[in-house]
Homo-oligomer: A and B are copies of this chain.
Amino acid sequence: MKMGATKVSGSDDYLFHPQLLKNLDWDSVQNILNPAITNENTGEPWLLVRPLHITDYDKGYLQILSQLTTVGNVSKTEFERQFWNMYKAGGYYLTVIEDTRSNKIIGASSLITEFKFVHNCGLRARLEDVVVNNTYRGKQLGKLIVLTVSLLAKKLGCYKMSLDCKDPLIPFYKSIGYKLEPGNANFMTIRYEDSPKPS
């Protein structure tokens, strides 16, 4: 995060370094995507897979998340504060697909890593907040964005990656390698009251 007087944002203002998305191990997941696309060759030259950027508030990042769940009235200042909270904490690999023709975010998924003591002080990975704009269906972008962050988790040395999902999405995640492990596939929740912040 550079704070130069004239600098508002730039190539440094990604949530994580774009280089991390280079040379992912797509060979290990061949046959899942047909035709074979990757985050570096999405099949459409105008579709760009990249880390979340500080300017993505204006590119519709929250609008696309609102297809998943409640987002609420989040101001640009609040968005930026949370972006830097994630940046400082580390372990937040929020990844998006931008349509560079319209400068709009049209897909997203998040890899979150967690330090563990178990598994030799290992690193655990979680998949969160996967969404692709309806009007872009049929381009394998759901698989693309999930595989991108899954391969990033592998590259970072995570020993496992997991997700919580609704019943209708089970076949999708099975098709890209996720498993319901027998006897160990239960996701349980306590919900506390949402306390909306003043906007």
Majority secondary structure, A binding face:
mixed
The interface stretch among A37-45, A136-144, A183-191 is A183-191
Q: Which residue of B lies closest to A56 (CB)?
A: B117
Q: Is A161 an interface residue (CB 8 A)?
A: yes
Task: Give the interface residue-count category, chain A.
Answer: 35 or more
Q: Which residue of B lies closest to A154 (CB)?
A: B192
Q: Which residue of B lies closest to A150 (CB)?
A: B190
Interface string of A164-176 (1 = CB under 8 A from B): 1111001001100
Q: Is A119 an interface residue (CB 8 A)?
A: yes
- A174: B residues at CB distance < 8 A: 188
Residue of A119, A161, A188 with most partner-chain B CB within 10 A? A188
Q: Is A17 an interface residue (CB 8 A)?
A: no
Q: Is A60 an interface residue (CB 8 A)?
A: no
Contact A197 to B85, CB < 8 A, known contacts A164-B162, A186-B187: no
* In contact, A73 and B120 (Cβ under 8 angstroms): yes
Q: Is A106 an interface residue (CB 8 A)?
A: no
Q: Which residue of B lies closest to A70 (CB)?
A: B119
Q: Is A177 an interface residue (CB 8 A)?
A: yes
Complex CA gap A156/B117 in Å reads 24
* In contact, A189 and B160 (Cβ under 8 angstroms): yes
Other-chain residue from B122, B154, B165, B194 in contact with A159 (beta carbon distance below 8 A): B194
- Of the A-B pairs whose beta carbons lie under 8 Å apart in the complex, a sample of 18, sorted by A's number, is A61-B117, A62-B117, A70-B120, A71-B118, A73-B120, A79-B117, A89-B90, A112-B114, A159-B193, A160-B190, A161-B190, A165-B184, A166-B184, A167-B184, A178-B189, A180-B187, A185-B187, A185-B188
